[in-house]
């Protein structure tokens, strides 16, 4: 396996004329481009693993202003990490179908401007979480941001098939931040939720990477579906899915939950495992994406995680 070694445009190079497919970019186009750097869909998913944990930690409805400050700080922190990622990956983003419409490949935003934007978001998020929530939550947010940028983006992504297995740790931090925002300390309960997201990340990401494996192959990013046949990818997805479901059920006794969460976790887990096994079965003996249908599992994984964490929030409200 060889890796892309082409120098990306430097942050000191002048920004080309800002245009869109319809002509010169408007102020609205540029603002939308900066918002796009934060990857709003990723932020939505991260918040879905933060806010429900706050309800769980409070065993009811947490202080609403605390929720507001946590959401604002978390949004800015996640947006900052995504923007840094866009700056570093702008060379490969320009070559991939899935990412070539992002702001930097389209030259709607310059690398220097994006770097400044990411840094401002990082500083603001730290200040908001430190003073509006608590120092521990701010420190965890800084750690998640740094892990995503330095460990995943810069160290692992272009070097190993295990990139998203370990790089995905950054996406597990919101569960810890939601808990510490309410309690001010860590415990085993949020660690279990951290691990649920950890084991959920490979099936979720590998399904997407299988769909876009040609993109990753063209830029020499060794995602698992690039270097292994679809059957092996399916096998590993099934393995991680079983561990994920088992971990989700472990939260019941450790988190002292009522009947609602384990019932929801069991139903959601069974449905997820059925879908994972079906995809793995379809992947045996073929590499045709139209047959494998990996995006079915990808979209299902988003629904699974969202509903599981909603169940975490609801259980204390109806079973206390």
Let me know if residue 164 belongs to a domain.
Answer: yes
Domain count, the chain: 2
315 and 199 belong to one structural domain: yes
Reported as a pLDDT band with limits 50, 70 and 90, residue 18 is: low
**What burial class does residue 138 get, using C-beta atoms within 10 Å of its C-beta: 0-12 exposed, 13-18 middle, 19+ buried?**
buried
pLDDT greater than 70 at residue 310 = yes
Residue 295 host element (H or E): helix 294-319
Percent of the chain with pLDDT over 90: 84
Q: For residue 299, give every residue at least 6 positions away whose Cβ sits within 8 Å of its Cβ, in sequence order, or none.
A: none
User: Does the pLDDT of residue 15 top 70, yes or no?
Assistant: no
Domain edge (last residue) among 111, 145, 174: 174
Q: What is the pLDDT of residue 67?
A: 97
Q: Are residues 81 and 125 in the same domain?
A: yes
**Do residues 78 and 196 share a domain?**
no
pLDDT 10s digits, 202-235? 999 999 999 999 999 999 999 999 999 999 999 9
Q: Is the pLDDT of residue 11 over 50?
A: no
Element containing residue 19 per DSSP (H, E): strand 19-20
Indicate the residue among 174, 203, 229 that finishes a domain: 174
* Same domain membership, residue 132 and residue 205: no
Average pLDDT over residues 23-45: 86
Average pLDDT over residues 279-304: 95
Nearest to 213 by CA among 203, 204, 223: 223
Residues present in the chain in total: 320
Mean pLDDT score across all residues of the chain: 91
Specify the pLDDT at position 21: 52
Categorize the per-residue pLDDT at 112 as very low, low, confident or very high, splitting at 50, 70 and 90: very high
Per-residue pLDDT averaged across 237-264, rounded? 96
pTM of the model: 0.90
Q: What is the pLDDT of residue 8?
A: 38
**Torsion on CA atoms 78, 84, 85, 88, rounded to nearest 10:** 180
pLDDT at 319: 82
Residues 136 and 230 in one domain: no
> Which residues span the domain enclosing 135?
30-174
Q: Indicate whether 175 pLDDT > 50.
A: yes
166 and 193 in a single domain? The answer is no
Q: How far apart are CA 213 and CA 96, in angstroms?
A: 10
Q: Tell me, yes or no, whether 242 and 290 share the same domain.
A: yes
Return the higher-pLDDT residue of 135 and 5. 135
Domain limit, last residue, from 174, 202, 217: 174
CATH number for position 94: 1.10.357.140
Q: What H or E segment, with its residue span, contains residue 80? A: helix 64-88
pLDDT confidence bin for 98, thresholds 50/70/90: confident
Spatial separation of the C-alpha atoms in residues 90 and 102, rounded to whole Å: 9
Inside any domain, residue 43: yes
Confidence (pLDDT) at 20: 53
Q: What percent of the chain has pLDDT over 70?
A: 92
- Answer whether residue 4 shows pLDDT above 70: no
160 plus 195 within the same structural domain: no
Query: Could you tell me if residue 19 is inside a domain?
Result: no
Q: Is residue 207 in a domain?
A: yes
262 and 312 belong to one structural domain:
yes
Cα 284 → chain centroid: 28
User: Is 127 found in the same domain as 67?
Assistant: yes
Q: Any idea what the CATH number is for the domain that residue 212 is in? A: 1.20.120
For residue 201, pLDDT over 80 is answered with yes
CB of 234 closer than 8 Å to CB of 280: yes
Domain shared by 206 and 157, yes or no = no
- Residue 58 predicted with pLDDT over 90: yes
For 63-88, what is the mean pLDDT? 96
* Other CB atoms within 10 Å distance of the CB of residue 285: 11
pLDDT higher for 5 or 23?
A: 23
pLDDT at 1 over 90: no
Q: Residue 305 above 90 pLDDT?
A: yes
Predicted confidence at residue 166, as pLDDT, reads 94
Task: Report if residue 24 sits inside a domain.
Answer: no
When pLDDT is averaged across residues 179-200 and rounded to a whole number, the result is 97
Q: Which residue did the predictor score with more confidence, 14 or 315? A: 315
Same domain, 159 and 215: no
Task: Provide the pLDDT for residue 44.
Answer: 87
Q: What pLDDT does 117 receive?
A: 97
Chain segment 22-32, per-residue pLDDT in tens: 456 788 888 99
**Domain assignment of residue 23, yes or no:** no
Q: Tell me whether residue 82 is in a domain.
A: yes
DSSP assignment letter at 101:
T
Both tokens of residue 229?
Answer: 């046949």
Query: Does any domain span residue 225?
Result: yes
């Amino acid at each position: 396996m060889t890796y892309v070694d082409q120098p990306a445009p430097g942050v000191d190079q002048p920004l080309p004329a800002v245009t869109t497919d319809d002509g010169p970019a408007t102020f609205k186009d540029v603002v939308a481009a900066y918002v796009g750097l934060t990857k709003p869909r990723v932020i939505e998913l991260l918040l879905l693993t933060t806010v429900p944990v706050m309800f769980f930690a409070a065993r009811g409805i947490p202080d609403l202003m605390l929720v507001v400050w946590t959401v604002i700080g978390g949004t800015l922190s996640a947006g900052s990490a995504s923007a840094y990622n866009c700056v570093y990956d702008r060379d490969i983003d320009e070559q991939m179908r899935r990412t070539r419409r992002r702001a930097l490949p389209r030259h709607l935003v310059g690398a220097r401007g994006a770097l400044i934007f990411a840094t401002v978001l990082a500083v603001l998020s730290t200040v908001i979480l430190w003073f509006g929530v608590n120092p521990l939550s701010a420190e965890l947010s800084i750690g998640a941001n740094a892990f995503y940028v330095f460990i995943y983006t810069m160290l692992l992504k272009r070097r190993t098939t295990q990139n998203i297995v370990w790089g995905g740790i950054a996406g597990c931090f919101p569960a810890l931040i939601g808990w510490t925002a309410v309690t001010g300390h860590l415990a085993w309960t949020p660690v279990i939720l951290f691990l649920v997201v950890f084991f959920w990340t490979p099936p979720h990401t590998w399904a997407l990477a299988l769909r876009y494996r040609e993109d990753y192959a063209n830029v020499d990013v060794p995602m698992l579906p690039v270097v292994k046949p679809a059957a092996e990818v399916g096998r590993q997805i099934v393995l991680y899915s079983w561990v994920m479901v088992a971990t989700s059920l472990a939260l019941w006794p450790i988190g002292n939950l009522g009947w609602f969460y384990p019932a929801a976790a069991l139903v959601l887990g069974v449905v997820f495992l059925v879908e994972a096994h079906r995809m793995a079965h379809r992947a045996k003996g073929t590499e045709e994406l139209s047959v494998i249908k990996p995006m079915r599992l990808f979209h299902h994984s988003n629904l699974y995680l969202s509903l599981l964490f909603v169940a975490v929030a609801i259980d204390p409200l109806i079973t206390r």
